[in-house]
Each structure stands twice: as structure tokens, then as C-alpha cells.
Amino acid sequence: MKKVREYVKVILAIALVYVVFYVTGIGCPIKFITGISCMGCGMTRAYVSLFRGDFHSAFAFHPLFFLPALWVVIYLFKAKIPKKIYKVLIFLTLFLFFAVYLFRLFDISDTIVVVEPKSGLVYKILYGIYSFIRHK
């Protein structure tokens, strides 16, 4: 029971961080820093849509939105799952996320997964330093 409480605390802490990112407009910290969407891009918006009862929008934001919740359950019962099956599940999940990411990355109609390095914090900082040095 103590282990379950620790898991719940970790999950709540992660959820709190994501709520702070969502409320402040940062959204995905990877996209905020780099300007490039990560494989989980749209996941937070998918869960917000799901909590509003909008399953269609949740799926549109990220078609694999249900997997993290499923993985919480899988992880809790990890001891009862054969190691080989557990490894296959990990590989399959990573493969699915990578495949969906690539599909969305090259789908020009997808506005959720983007590559915009100039909008990232790293680019803005480096460009600011470059501009400061150049105009000195």
C-alpha cells in the first residue's frame, strides 16, 4: 500500500507540473525550449478534451492519449507480467509513438506537430546573444 501511495504522489506531481505548463501557456516544455514538437505533442490537450467529454478532439490531439494511463496500470502490475511480454509492450508502445510522430510530422495538414526552431527559447536566447555581440 505504501508503494501505491508513492506512485499516486508521483502521478499527482507530474499532473501538477503539466497543469502549470498548460495554465502558463508553456504547454510542452520540449516544444517551448526547442520549437520542435515531441512524440507526445498534443497529449495534454487530448486529456483536457477528454475531461470535457470530447473524445473526438482528444483523439485528434493525440491518437495514443490512452496509452499513458494504460501504462500506469501495467506498471502497477509489472511483477505479474512476464518480462518478455513487458519488454514487447515497451517496444510496441515506443514503436507506436514513433510511427504516429513521423506520420504527423510529415502530414502537412497536421497543425499540432510542428518544427519551428525559431519559436523555441534556445533559438531566441542564442539569437539575442548574437544580436548583442554583433551590434556592440
At CA 68, angle to CA 100 and CA 19, rounded to 5?
Answer: 105
* C-alpha separations of 83 from 47, 117, 122, 135 in Å: 30, 39, 40, 59
Domain ranges of the chain: 2-134
Q: Is the pLDDT of residue 136 over 70?
A: no
Q: How far is 80 from 78, CA to CA, in rounded Å?
A: 5
pLDDT of residue 98: 95
Whole-prediction pTM value?
Answer: 0.73
Amino acid at 99: A
Length of the chain: 136
Tell whether the model's pLDDT for residue 118 goes beyond 90: yes
Mean pLDDT of 112-121: 92
The answer to whether the beta carbons of residues 124 and 66 sit under 8 Å apart is no
